[in-house]
A and B are shown apart, each in its own frame.
Chain A
Amino acid sequence: MSISTPGGPERRPTVVSTGKKPAAGRPAAGDKPAAKAGAGRPGGGKGAPRPGAGGKGRKPVTPVKVSQGRSWGPIALFAAVGVLAVAIIGIGAWSVYQGAQPWQKRADAINGMVDFRKKDKDLVKGGNHQPGTIKYEQSPPVGGPHNQAWQNCMGDVYPAPIANEHAVHSMEHGTVWITYRPDLPADQVAKLESKVKGKEKLMLSPYEGLDKPISLQAWGFQLKVDNADDGRIDEFIKTLRVNASIEGPNALCDQGITATGTTPRDNVQPNMPEQPTQ
């Protein structure tokens, strides 16, 4: 490409020198074929003889400056191809960059989501195991101290409310905890169940006293929505499940409390046969 473009202007004079009229050229007054040819000689390393120096079998002709304004076709073509190529690469690079944005940036873009990591850094530090009942500032809670036992989060669908103290621990392990007001219609509950079943690091339970029909929690994040068809639910899960974990994707979800009930079972060995169930 780079060679042919400067060579472009030479083509027309060559044609002209054969005696034909320039097809789409601009035959200015006094424009003579040989002059044109001379002006358009390919730039090379060799020094170019003057037109009047006497060529082999050619009449000397008056030099006419015709180089200006002749090559707009190739220039335009070159520019168009260049702009197109840069645009294609640019759009590709931009979309790849957008797609590969870190999850934190994509989380910021979820409309209506509360990011407690920005509001309260201490809340989401994690780590603290604390026995017994714990008071949380948020309802449902999104982080903070928790019991040593976590709620089983292997895509568990809990038919009754569970203890915050265990659920917070599950979220520390990367779980998205979906809660719904007990009066949520059954068909909407079924839609939420289908999002959860069979997928570890997800769990679903009803929650008393919610100010909205559905509330999603991940470690440090909360989103409240009105119905199960809200597209932000899937967005929240995709962006924050495991990603929001402060302990990484290998944190365990099994071997947790599988029973329901809002009273924490801190001193009970999970999953042992003597574990009380409701």
Chain B
Amino acid sequence: MTAPVTTDSEFDDEVPAADEGGRPAARRYGLLALAAAVVVGLLLGYAGGLLTPTLSRPGDTSAEAGFARDMTAHHNQAVAMGLLAFRQGQDAEVRQVGVDIATGQQGEIGTMQTWLRSWKLDPTGEQAPMAWMPDGAGLVKDGLMPGMATPEEMAKLRAASGREFDVLFLQMMIRHHIGGVHMIDGILDEGHDDDVLAVAQVMKNTQQNDLTNLNAALKRLGGTL
């Protein structure tokens, strides 16, 4: 770029002569090219502006999308356990913590599903559960992510009552929360979306608080993990 400009100016000084006959055509062409360049530039800028939000939002295989989908599944089971505790728990604190977890985590499911919708992604991913976490997929056993209860354990909880239910619920929910916090740590490490990170941090705070109280309640009821 620099060299031609320099020689052009030298040339201007040396040869003030110009060919009048060739000028209008060259000038027309120059203007046309300039106009075309400006139009193409504007179109490219417009297209780039349109595409940027699409390209910058989390994609189908992103850690954010994986977290939103997998944590929805994980939370769904906690909601199920919490509702059982609210209805079947004998201990007042078990009933109370049960409904708190059920409503709180159902709300977080709504947040995560809204993310997916705003990212134009399906609630269902193509990847295996936990595949967004390093070495995550290997932790899934029979479709269950860490901390999740088996169908047999859930059936046992449904059938339990009295103190047996209370202790079983506390044991299962403590395991469930430990698995949940592990997954939240995964997104805190892998994630980039500020809103996702903020919500994940609140989830972690809540579940760690719950863990303190669940453990204390289990001890109070004479149960062990």
Contact = CB atoms under 8 A, between A and B. Distances in A.
A167 B4 CA distance: 77
A271 B84 contact: yes
Contacts of A249: 72, 109-110, 113, 123
A25 interface: no
Contacts of A4: 1
Given A237-B124, A238-B122, A197 B76 contact: no
Nearest to A17: B11
* Contact residues on A (Cβ < 8 Å of other chain), bracket: 35 or more
Contacts of A156: 151
Contact of A58 (B15, B33, B73, B122): B15
Given A42-B8, A48-B20, A200-B76, A34 B15 contact: yes
B17 A53 contact: yes
Contacts, number: 208
A25 to B, nearest CB: 15
B143 A85 contact: no
B31 to A, nearest CB: 8
Contacts of A61: 17
A39 interface: yes
B122 A50 contact: no
Nearest to B9: A42
Contacts of B10: 14
Interface string A54-79: 01111011011111100100010010
B15 A17 contact: yes
Q: Which of A37, A249, A250 has the largest count of B CB atoms less than 10 A from its CB? A: A249
A37 B15 CA distance: 8
Contacts of B36: 82
Nearest to A271: B158
Main secondary structure of the interface of B (DSSP, over half): helix
B123 A93 contact: no
A99 to B, nearest CB: 8
B19 A234 contact: no
Contacts of B125: 238
A19 interface: no
A11 B4 contact: yes
B144 A154 contact: no
B18 A57 contact: no
A273 interface: yes
A2 B15 contact: no
B199 interface: no
Nearest to A242: B123
24 contacts: A2-B41, A10-B8, A14-B10, A17-B14, A38-B22, A39-B23, A42-B8, A48-B17, A53-B16, A55-B16, A61-B17, A63-B20, A63-B21, A64-B19, A66-B22, A78-B33, A90-B47, A92-B55, A154-B154, A155-B143, A198-B145, A198-B148, A199-B73, A254-B80
Given A10-B11, A15-B7, A41-B12, 8 more contacts: A2-B33, A55-B16, A56-B15, A86-B43, A154-B77, A198-B140, A249-B72, A249-B110
Interface of A: 1-7, 9-11, 13-15, 17, 34-35, 37-43, 48-53, 55-58, 60-61, 63-68, 71, 75, 78, 82, 85-86, 89-90, 92-93, 96, 99-100, 103, 154-157, 194, 196-201, 234, 237-239, 241-243, 249-250, 252-255, 258, 271, 273
6 residue pairs, one from A and one from B, having the closest CB atoms: A198-B143, A48-B18, A197-B143, A254-B80, A2-B37, A6-B30
